[in-house]
Structure 1
């Protein structure tokens, strides 16, 4: 039974990739079917992810400036960019694991993609808020 899990996971990834590429237009204000709800949840996540990527790029630029300013004082103070990258990599691992876990509420069911996408969107919005706070602190 355990050996089937990787194949199932691969199938989920392949189906999810095809699903993401061929989504029909859906009025998310009127979504009722599970397929429409799944599509809308994915669209919500994609929008949140686009915003996160924009803010992350701004945060990297701000940390580069921080490194430049602190490096002028002492080279030992440089490292803000690497710290941000390290934090982001750790957050991605947390997000992915946490949202996979959220899907277990409906594991294998038609609702699972909606639960995973909803989790991804929520955690991504929270991370975006954290990075915006970092930017405010950095004076940007």
Structure 2
């Protein structure tokens, strides 16, 4: 006579051999793993098939929006603000490059390398700050909204700082 435990042991061994039923994997969700925003699919892909007016209305009002919709709207907002930052930075780099010619001619230190280092350090600060705010939520469905909103907020502040500085 076979003991009941042995009858149960065989199916459990067979189930644990199936990778898609791995108990550790079953506990993971898109909100419980690290992510790299630089590898994120652009929000335009999420909104494929929708008109600009539909997207604007959805993102402005949030009416009938799912969590994924709101996260995509937050990402879209960051993408727009990030494009503004890139434009501002390129303009300042051009000014530094031009002014550095005169500085170099007078044997003075040049500014552009320091601006570039500062911008790079700022990007690292922003990214780390937003990952910290996001991961502090734990496994939450608003994780991506929080992340993209943080990125947009800090990037707006950077644009304002750059525009107000006297270079």
- The two structures have a TM-score, normalised by structure 2, of 0.67
In the other structure, the counterpart of 2:103 is 70
1:8 to 22, 27, 33: 33
Higher helix share: 1
What displacement does 1:122 show? Answer: 0.7
1:81 to 98, 112, 134: 112
- CA separation of 1:44 and 1:63: change in aligned 2, threshold 3 A: same
Answering whether residue 38 of structure 2 is matched by residue 38 of structure 1, we say no
Instruction: Tell whether the 8 Å contact from 2:81 to 2:152 is kept in structure 1 after alignment.
Output: yes
**Structure 2 CA distance for aligned equivalents of residues 83 and 19 of structure 1:** 31
Superposition misfits of 4+ residues, deviation over 4 angstroms: none
In the other structure, the counterpart of 2:131 is 100
What displacement does 1:22 show? Answer: 2.5
Answering whether residue 40 of structure 2 is matched by residue 17 of structure 1, we say yes
In the other structure, the counterpart of 2:59 is 28
**Structure 1 CA distance for aligned equivalents of residues 41 and 94 of structure 2:** 34
**Structure 2 CA distance for aligned equivalents of residues 129 and 63 of structure 1:** 18
**Structure 1 CA distance for aligned equivalents of residues 43 and 161 of structure 2:** 27
What displacement does 1:19 show? Answer: 6.6
Cα RMSD between the aligned structures? 2.4
Unaligned runs of 5+ in 2: 1-23
Structure having greater relative contact order (Cα 8 Å, sep ≥ 6): 1
Instruction: Tell whether the 8 Å contact from 2:104 to 2:110 is kept in structure 1 after alignment.
Output: no
Instruction: Tell whether the 8 Å contact from 2:71 to 2:145 is kept in structure 1 after alignment.
Output: yes
**Structure 1 CA distance for aligned equivalents of residues 124 and 41 of structure 2:** 23
